[in-house]
């Protein structure tokens, strides 16, 4: 089973989401019971809407519970902090454009490049993983290979 790498905060957020979804599921069960009590279910829009919402909710609960069972909390991982690994904050320089940018390497569930969170499965992160501060590397991006340099490496 695939591991899902998440921070402790994200893990706790997912646990809260599952709890909230289970409360919604209980409410939907009551709504379905009340709608069913109205009689003819073929033309009962409230009943069908509640059943559909319940199925969506159950799918989301199952998905989240599976991810939580297979979650690795990145805050607890013992990694070599002399090289870029999940949980590291890296400042990278695009050698051709002479531009620097900073990302924190995270699991795919937390990825949000606009907020500086880069999935370790992304092409750029794949290139920097295992590199030490000062090393140059090549990342194979959708537009082709690009050269970068790992300027700064830190674990917060």
pLDDT in tens, 91-140: 999 999 999 999 999 988 889 999 999 999 999 999 999 999 999 999 99
**Residue 73 φ then ψ, to 5°:** -80, 115
Strands 71-73 and 136-141: unpaired
CA dist., res. 122 & res. 137, Å (int) = 15
**Residue 25 φ then ψ, to 5°:** -60, -40
pTM of the model: 0.69
The predicted-structure confidence for 3-50, as pLDDT tens digits, reads as follows 778 888 889 999 999 999 999 999 888 888 877 777 666 667 777 888
Q: Which of 81, 67, 84 is nearest to 5 (CA)?
A: 67
pLDDT recorded at residue 42: 66
Q: Looking at residue 122, what DSSP letter applies?
A: S
Q: Looking at residue 39, what DSSP letter applies?
A: S
Strands 4-6 and 117-119: unpaired
For residue 91, the SS3 value is strand
Which residue do the tokens 């795919």 mark? 108
């Amino acid at each position: 089973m695939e591991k899902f790498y998440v921070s402790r905060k994200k893990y706790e957020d997912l646990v809260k989401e599952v709890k909230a979804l289970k409360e919604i599921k209980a409410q939907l069960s009551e709504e379905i019971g009340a709608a069913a009590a109205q009689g003819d279910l073929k033309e009962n829009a409230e009943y069908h809407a509640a059943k559909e919402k319940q199925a969506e909710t159950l799918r989301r609960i199952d998905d989240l519970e599976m991810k939580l069972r297979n979650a690795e909390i990145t805050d607890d991982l013992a990694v070599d902090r002399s090289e870029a690994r999940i949980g590291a904050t890296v400042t990278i320089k695009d050698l051709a454009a002479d531009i620097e940018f900073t990302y924190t390497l995270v699991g795919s569930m937390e990825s949000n490049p606009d907020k500086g969170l880069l999935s370790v499965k992304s092409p750029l992160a794949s290139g920097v993983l295992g590199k030490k501060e000062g090393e140059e590397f090549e990342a194979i991006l959708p537009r082709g290979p690009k050269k970068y340099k790992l300027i700064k490496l830190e674990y917060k």
